[in-house]
Amino acid sequence: MSAHRRAVIVAARRTAVAPRGGALSQLQADELAAPVLKDLVGDAALPLDRVDHVILGNALYGGGNPARLAALRAGIPGPVPSMTLDTQCCSGLDAILTGAQLIEAGAADCVLAGGAESFSRAPIRMRRPTAPGEEAVPYDRPAFAPPPFEDPDLSSAAAKIAVRYGLTRKSQTQFAQASHAKALAAAPDLERHLVGNDDRMRRRDGFTRRLDLRIGMRAPLLAGPEEFGLSAATIACEADGAAGVLLMSDCMASTLSRTGLLILGGMRKGGDPNDPALVPVAAAKALLSRLNMTVADLAAVELMEAYASQAMATVNDLSLDTARLNQLGGALARGHPIGASGAILVVQLFEFLRTRENATEAAQDRAMALIAAAGGLGSALVVERFRSKDG
């Protein structure tokens, strides 16, 4: 990363997250993303033609370029290029990292980046016949690793983690219960960064609820043995949603007197496709080492909760203080719109640090986003509060 050009997040927005088939089910991924992009530019009081690039993550679109559709819907001028990238669950965070790298390299001064996903409107997937007379074969997901690598069902892999770490079904349910409780407590404050301009864009996550432990323990077992199994309460539900940030060079942000979050560094790592959920541990350790920091230096960690067992194992391996984990609630409480989830983590960090503007300790200014993806991928981002020279 250049010592002279750094990227700053000056605005962050997201839609509410709604379970598949719920409040957002009539909207395509680009339709979800468009109002996010539009509000980001509005929040920064920036002319649309000052945007240099649009980058969105998406995992289920099956082709095309949803970022371009979203940008045009949002009124971004036609000459501004748009790119969609797919690293599955890491997509939204990787889009932000890519936008930051463009700025650090001097290739852009202002980038809209994030992710969008509609489980409800995702294409139906089928493999074409290979010979006359054969029929097309439907499938739910593509391969994430080729032979001879293992390519496990992600729920089965998460169930093996629960057994390996001794994470009982009760402890996983209690973890999910805490996620819902945090999200409920934060809901009134979260409304200000949720976009919403009609009945289809509500300003509250649709899945969040008071999760009673007894009810949670009665949720259907979906993977793994009875004692350590994963249930509907401890797996993030399939969901629709979009999230994004407006990135500026630190020079541009200072010139315009903008405050926000300075990106200190990002890290992408690959690992064992057979054990994908724990790759973020390596990404976090490598990034913190590069920044000469420790977990204790972080006021907050936004960790993707695709599975309670995966999140709990990561907490264990990084010795995370759970008081600093997902303080506005996690994905177990809102759902998992795959391509958007990584970007949602960053929006949550932006909101959390913005509410702590009077913090004086250096540690209170820094935070991390962390997510795993199918195929053995992990991405991490560390930020700190940024105040322009004139701000």
HEC assignment per residue over 194-260: ECCCCCCCCCCCCCCCCCCHHHHHCCCEEECCCCCCEECCCECCEEEEEEEEEEEEHHHHHHCCCCE
Q: What is the pLDDT of residue 388?
A: 65
The mean pLDDT of 239-246, rounded to a whole number, is 98
For residue 126, list its beta bridge partners. Answer: 138
Calculate ∠ Cα 350-295-277, nearest 5°: 80
pLDDT at 1 (0 to 100):
41
pLDDT at 387: 75
Predicted confidence at residue 196, as pLDDT, reads 76
Q: What is the pLDDT, as a whole number, of residue 357? A: 59
Contacts of 376 (CB under 8 A, 6+ apart): 144, 145, 270, 271, 272, 273, 274, 275, 276, 279
What amino acid is encoded at 168 in this protein? T
Which amino acid belongs to residue 233?
A
Give the pLDDT confidence score for residue 25 in this predicted structure: 94
Name the residue among 340, 264, 258, 287 with its Cα closest to residue 100: 264
Average pLDDT, the chain: 93
- pLDDT score of 4: 78
List pLDDT tens digits, range 77-96: 999 999 999 999 999 999 99
111-164, pLDDT tens digit by residue?
999 999 999 999 999 999 999 999 999 988 899 999 999 989 999 999 999 999
Residue range 7-122+236-385 forms a domain whose CATH class is alpha beta
Domain ranges across the chain: 7-122+236-385
- CA distance linking residue 74 with residue 25, whole number of Å: 20
Distance of CA 41 to the CA centre of its chain: 20
Q: Is the pTM of this model over 0.75?
A: yes
User: How many percent of the chain have pLDDT more than 70?
Assistant: 95
In the chain, DSSP assigns E strands to 7-14, 18-19, 53-57, 82-85, 110-118, 126-127, 137-138, 221-223, 230-231, 239-249, 260-270, 300-303, 366-373, 377-386
Q: Are 124 and 66 in contact (CB under 8 A)?
A: no
Per residue, the 3-state secondary structure of 25-49, as one string, reads CCCCHHHHHHHHHHHHHHHCCCCHH
Local confidence band at 364 (pLDDT 50, 70, 90 cut-offs): low
- Residue 204 sits at the vertex; the CA angle it makes with 200 and 208, to the nearest 5 degrees, is 120
DSSP of 129-148, one letter per residue? PSSTTPPPEE-SS--SS-TT
pLDDT for residue 362: 45
Residues marked as catalytic: 89, 336
The one-letter code for the residue type at 81 is P
d(CA 160, CA 310): 10
The pLDDT of 97-112, averaged and rounded, is 98
> What is the band of 63 on the pLDDT scale with cuts at 50, 70, 90?
confident
Q: Which of 345, 336, 332, 353 is nearest to 371 (CA)?
A: 345
What would the mean pLDDT of 316-332 be, rounded to a whole number? 96
Q: pLDDT for 11-49, tens place per residue?
A: 999 999 999 999 999 999 999 999 999 999 999 999 999
Band of residue 318 on the pLDDT scale cut at 50, 70, 90: very high
More confident residue, 199 or 71: 71
What pLDDT shows up at residue 188? 86
Higher-scoring residue by pLDDT: 356, 353? 353
Residue 288: CB partners within 8 Å, gap ≥ 6? 294, 295, 297, 368, 382
Closest of 365, 145, 135 to residue 270, by C-alpha: 145
The DSSP element (H or E) to which 311 belongs, if any, is helix 308-318
What confidence tier does 295 reach under pLDDT thresholds 50, 70, 90? very high
Quick: pLDDT tens for 189-232: 888 779 975 666 677 898 999 999 999 999 999 999 999 999 99
Strand partners, 223: 230
